[in-house]
Amino acid sequence: MLKTLDRALSRLGFCSRTEAAEWIRGGRVRVNGRAQTDPETWVDLDRDRITVDGRPLAPSRRIYLLLYKPKGYLTTWRDPQGRPTVYDLLGKLRQWIFPVGRLDLDTSGLLLMTNDSEFAELISNPDYHVPKTYLVKASTLLSDAQLAALRHGVELKDGRTRPAEVIRLRDSGGRTFFEITITEGRNRQVRRMVEAVGSKVLKLVRTAIGPVRIGSLEIGKWRTLTPAEVRALTECAKRGARRAAKEQSRRLPPEAV
C-alpha cells in the first residue's frame, strides 16, 4: 500500500494531513530508521517501519461518531474568526477524527466523524448517492405542485437535481414542514432547491444518513456508531458504488468494457 508519508500518518488516524506535514518537516518522523523531512516521501505501509518521536506507528483504533451538530458550529478544525467548531463539542476525545462531508453553519443535525479515511471517502463519494434526509421548515405554505417539483428535480445553476423523496409533515402558521431525502450533496443544496420553488428555508436539520438516524440524541452531544451501523452505512455506499460501476460500463462503448 504506497502512500505519501503525510497521507500515511493521517490515514492511520494519528493527525490531520496538515499536522502530519508539520511533524515530518520538524524531523519527528523516521522511516526505516532515517529521518524524513519531505511529506511527499512515498512509503509502503505494509513494509516500511515508521516512527514518530521514536515510537513505532501502530494503526490506531477506528472511531466512528455521530454528532448532533447545533446551528452556528463550523465543520472545520479551527476558524480564523474564532467561531465555535464541531471540535469544541468532542470533550476529552483524544484521537484525531474528521467530519465525513460537511454541514452548513446554519444547518443542524447528524454529522458523522471518524479517523477512517476509507470509510469517509466511501460515504461521501458523490457518485455513490448515499441518501441524506433533512427536516425542513419552509418560510411559506408549499403547494402539492411545489413539493412535486422538489421530488422530480429542479433546475439549479449547477444542473438539475436528482429525484428526491419528499413527505409533507404538516402545515402550520403559514409554514410547511416537510422531510426530504436527497442522494446528492451539493453545496447548500436543500436551501437552493427550496428557493428554486419560490420559498426559503427557515430551519434545516439533517436527521439521517443512509440507514443511520439521529434518533433521540440531544443537540450538541455525540455517541459512537454501533458496529451494525458502520456495516449498514458501508454496505449502503458499496451498493451505490456497484450501481455507479454498472452505469459507467453501460455508457462505455462495448469494445472498452
Active-site amino acid positions: 104
How is residue 29 written as a grid cell? 518522523
Q: Are 153 and 162 in contact (CB under 8 A)?
A: yes
Q: Are 46 and 1 in contact (CB under 8 A)?
A: yes
Kindly state the smallest distance separating residue 3's Cβ from ligand URA, in Å: 31
Q: How many CB atoms lie within 10 A of CB 66?
A: 21
Pick the piece of the chain touching ligand URA (CB under 6 A) from 20-28, 99-107, 111-119, 226-234. 99-107
Asked if 166 touches ligand URA (CB under 6 A), the answer is no
Kindly state the smallest distance separating residue 116's Cβ from ligand URA, in Å: 22
Q: How far apart are CA 195 and CA 216, in angstroms?
A: 30
Q: How far apart are CA 46 and CA 71, in angstroms?
A: 42
Kindly state the smallest distance separating residue 245's Cβ from ligand URA, in Å: 26
Kindly state the smallest distance separating residue 18's Cβ from ligand URA, in Å: 24
* CA dihedral sign of residues 101, 83, 91, 23: positive
Going by the DSSP 8-state scheme, the letter that residue 105 receives in this structure is T
Residue number, 117 or 181, with CB nearest to ligand URA:
181
Site string for ligand URA, 167-206 (x = CB under 6 A): ---------------------xxxx------------x--
Q: How far apart are CA 179 and CA 165, in angstroms?
A: 8
The one-letter code for the residue type at 238 is K
Judged by CB under 6 A, the residue of 19, 22, 48, 104 near ligand URA is: 104
Judged by CB under 6 A, the residue of 4, 10, 36, 107 near ligand URA is: 107
Residue number, 68 or 96, with CB nearest to ligand URA:
68
Pairing type for strands 55-56 and 50-52 reads: antiparallel
Residue ranges in contact with ligand URA by CB under 6 A: 103-104, 107, 188-191, 204
